[in-house]
């Protein structure tokens, strides 16, 4: 399987310039002191639509236009952040968009998708319904993570981390289907060979580490995690190839470690993130990633679209 190249990442940077937020890499002295290492967060919760997904969706759409195959409409399936990202991409490009979301999707995520004018179709047969709609209407199905253009879009997160200063020693990345870590690894691996790139998966949504352990197998049970944004039903073929070739490790964290890390992150950084974004801190707190007092560490905060019911657990 071909990996995303430096040129593809550079092309994504060019397409996305001025269209996505160059999110800040924020130092976290208080949390870093507490953990005993220099810590910063890449705040993709501050991205348009509240997650990094906007980068991949927009890059995939703009690449289609650039290659003279502009779509006449967009179709997506997603429980949340990719849905909003595709709705946003459709909105900014004036394309009609339909998004298939699960019937039990977080209500605020449905609201966000509708805010950008997309049609929402609630179904529990996401993939088949989306494929059927795309075929029927002749619209383009924008893949949630397993596509080189989506990975190249996510890679611009890695380029921005490199542009912010000396490359970190360790980058911790939440892993769902693997698109974000594939992109970040594609951007960082050759530019900074000594940076450790570690993915973090919840025990309840571990398709990537399961696939790594079982030569590409898919877990028998449907994913179910308090980190709802990471509950991808399968690891991608493209993403698995990137993870195998470029990523140092993918660790699994206990479900019960996620909400405490999430609450700590809110309190210490004052950034509103979703539980998925806290898995990197959970891995550090659980001692699953080796660090030293000099390990300059970046936590990638993948998104900020937290369910109100989750926020209410803090009361």
In the complex with a second copy, the residue whose CB is nearer, 52 or 77, is: 52
Rule CB under 8 A: say whether 266 interacts with a second copy: yes
Which among 312, 73, 42 is positioned nearest to 171, based on CA atoms? 42
Rule CB under 8 A: say whether 29 interacts with a second copy: yes
| Shortest reach from residue 190's CB to a second copy, in Å | 30
| Shortest reach from residue 114's CB to a second copy, in Å | 14
Query: What end-to-end distance do the CA atoms of the chain give, in Å?
Result: 48
Which among 98, 96, 144, 91 is positioned nearest to 121, based on CA atoms? 98
Stretch that binds a second copy, among 23-31, 71-79, 117-125, 288-296 (CB under 8 A): 23-31
In the complex with a second copy, the residue whose CB is nearer, 70 or 165, is: 165
What span, in angstroms and rounded, lies between the C-alpha atoms of 144 and 118? 16
**Edge-to-edge strands, sheet with 249-253:** 25-27, 39-43, 297-301, 170-174, 196-202, 249-253
Rule CB under 8 A: say whether 18 interacts with a second copy: no
| Shortest reach from residue 271's CB to a second copy, in Å | 6
Rule CB under 8 A: say whether 46 interacts with a second copy: yes
Residue in 3, 11, 26, 191 binding a second copy, rule: CB under 8 A: 26
Our CA angle for 132, 232, 124, nearest 5°, is 45
Rule CB under 8 A: say whether 24 interacts with a second copy: yes
In the complex with a second copy, the residue whose CB is nearer, 48 or 140, is: 48
CB 187 within 8 A of CB 155: yes
Rule CB under 8 A: say whether 244 interacts with a second copy: no
| Shortest reach from residue 18's CB to a second copy, in Å | 11
| Shortest reach from residue 28's CB to a second copy, in Å | 9
Total residues binding a second copy (CB under 8 A): 26
CB hemisphere CA count around 173 (13 angstroms): 32
The alpha carbon of 189 is separated from its chain's Cα centroid by a whole number of angstroms, namely 18
What span, in angstroms and rounded, lies between the C-alpha atoms of 171 and 280? 9
Residue in 172, 273, 281, 299 binding a second copy, rule: CB under 8 A: 273
DSSP H/E element including 197: strand 196-202
Where along the sequence are the contacts to a second copy (CB under 8 A)? Answer: 21, 24, 26-27, 29-30, 45-46, 48, 50, 108, 266-267, 269-273, 304, 308-309, 311-315
């Amino acid at each position: 399987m071909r990996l995303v190249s430096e040129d593809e990442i550079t092309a994504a940077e060019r397409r996305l310039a001025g269209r996505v937020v160059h999110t800040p890499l924020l130092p976290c002295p208080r949390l870093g002191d507490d953990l005993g290492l220099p810590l910063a967060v890449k705040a993709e919760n501050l991205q348009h639509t509240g997650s990094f997904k906007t980068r991949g969706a927009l890059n995939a759409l703009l690449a289609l236009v650039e290659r003279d195959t502009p779509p006449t409409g967009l179709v997506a399936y997603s429980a949340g952040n990719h849905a909003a990202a595709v709705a946003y991409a459709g909105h900014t490009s004036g394309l009609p968009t339909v998004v298939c979301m699960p019937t039990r999707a977080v209500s605020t995520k449905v609201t966000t998708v509708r805010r950008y004018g997309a049609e929402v179709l609630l179904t529990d047969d996401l993939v088949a319904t989306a494929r059927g709609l795309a075929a029927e209407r002749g619209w383009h199905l924008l893949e949630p993570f397993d596509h080189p253009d989506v990975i190249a879009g996510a890679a611009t997160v890695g380029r921005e981390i490199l542009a912010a200063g000396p490359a970190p020693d360790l980058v911790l990345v939440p892993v769902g289907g693997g698109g974000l870590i594939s992109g970040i690894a594609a951007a960082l691996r050759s530019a900074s060979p000594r940076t450790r790139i570690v993915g973090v998966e919840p025990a309840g949504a571990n398709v990537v580490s399961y696939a790594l352990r079982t030569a590409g197998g898919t877990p028998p049970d449907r994913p179910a995690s308090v980190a709802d944004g990471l509950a991808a039903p399968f690891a991608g073929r493209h993403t698995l190839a990137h993870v195998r070739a470029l990523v140092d490790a993918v660790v699994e964290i206990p479900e019960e470690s996620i909400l405490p890390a999430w609450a700590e992150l809110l309190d210490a950084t004052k950034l509103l993130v979703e539980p998925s974004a806290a898995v990197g801190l959970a891995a550090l707190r659980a001692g699953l990633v080796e660090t030293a007092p000099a390990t300059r560490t970046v936590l990638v905060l993948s998104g900020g679209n937290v369910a109100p019911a989750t926020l209410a657990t803090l009361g």
